[in-house]
Amino acid sequence: MTMIRLLGGLVLLTLLAPAQAAPSPTLAVQPVPAAPALAARAYVLMDFSSMRVLAENRADERMEPASLTKLMTAYAVFKELAAGKLKLTDPVTISDQAWRSEGSRMFVKVGTKVTLEDLLKGMIVQSGNDASVALAEHVGGSEKGFVTLMNQYAQALGMSRSHFTNSTGLPDPELYITARDIALLARALISEFPEHYKYYSIKEFTYNSITQYNRNLLLWRDQGVDGLKTGHTESAGFCLVTSALRDDMRLIAVVLGTKDEKSRAQESLELLNYGYRFYETHRLYAAGQPLYTLPIWKGAEKSLRLGLRNDLYVTVPRGQYKNLTAAMEVDARIMAPAAKGQAFGAVKITLGGDVIAKPALVALHDVAKGGVWRRMIDSIRLWWH
């Protein structure tokens, strides 16, 4: 059931029930308390699907990343793998520079050949700086060349307040990130490379007869946690980026600058528990699903189907799903040609009078210009309108 009325130059289409969204269990509407105040320099909690931030503190201030830098190192390597420029079985020769890397190590030997996949495990599970440098040199020709690639990918992801100077996270005045930027990076790793994300849940890895354990304590404490990365230097403090999946809802927590290993795990778990306790996420509409069909003038076809480029998810306080309203604002008069993906309006999702999402409504197919007769007939019809 719908109601349509003209609003300025737009058609307002009110949808009385959002489509394709599974209703939440019956719960009494409850107020959402303030997010917990964590003993950390900065933090952010973000829903993976809707990208809604549920809690934050100093999320846009520059912070030292320590080994969280290796998330971007991995992202750049995964990009090369996806492009077919690398294979997991590729042998990588360990340079003297990689072998001499300071800090945490995988314990590779200079001059030996190590598979790219083993180096990825050594960097992700063991946080090996030697593995990070070896990967950087293999992909970028040099660590300096690889850093250029890291920064290019950071800008493409919208990490506008972050800058990288090495592949390891060793302290440098010009190496910095923000909690929000790292959450964006974590989301990209999970969504773009699900086949490689599995490395982040590995609890231990043995190389050169040396077994080392993943420093992410939450992999043992919470069965929903399946990543991502720890970091620590004296100046950065103890940091942790965590992702967890419970009942089809994935959250990403970034906690920076806690006092010790135990604290970063405990503060991260508290943040995740807050999000799962008080919020729920729903998919309202699927990408490419026709949401509205309207006339198109002077075209080879008489109608144009509109929908969304991407799945539309919303995250709302528990018990509030039934109070969502959805409306479409659509251009009142559309002329051919229309290109697939071209925007002709928006879907507006509101809760309690607040707009919580407003993605573009786009053409789901091309419509070419009509012939001379069609254009002439429609011109006459438009004149009478």
Instruction: Count other C-beta atoms under 10 Å from residue 114's C-beta.
Output: 24
Output the six-digit token pair for 141.
Answer: 């020709």
Are the CB atoms for 280 and 249 separated by under 8 Å?
yes
What strands lie across the sheet with 237-246, from one edge to the other? 53-57, 42-47, 249-258, 237-246, 225-233
**Residues carrying an active site annotation:** 67, 70, 127
Cis status, amide bond into 284, omega within 30 of 0: no
Cis status, amide bond into 337, omega within 30 of 0: yes
Are the CB atoms for 45 and 272 separated by under 8 Å?
yes
β-strand partners of 6:
11
Rounded to 5 degrees, what are φ and ψ at 46? -130, 140
Cα-trace Rg, the chain: 25
Output the six-digit token pair for 284.
Answer: 């309202």
Q: Pick the closest to residue 75 from 170, 171, 159 (CA basis).
A: 159
Q: Is beta strand 225-233 parallel, antiparallel or unpaired with respect to 2-7?
A: unpaired
In the numeric block, the tokens 């080994």 are attached to 67
Q: Pick the closest to residue 71 from 207, 243, 204, 234 (CA basis).
A: 243
DSSP 176: B
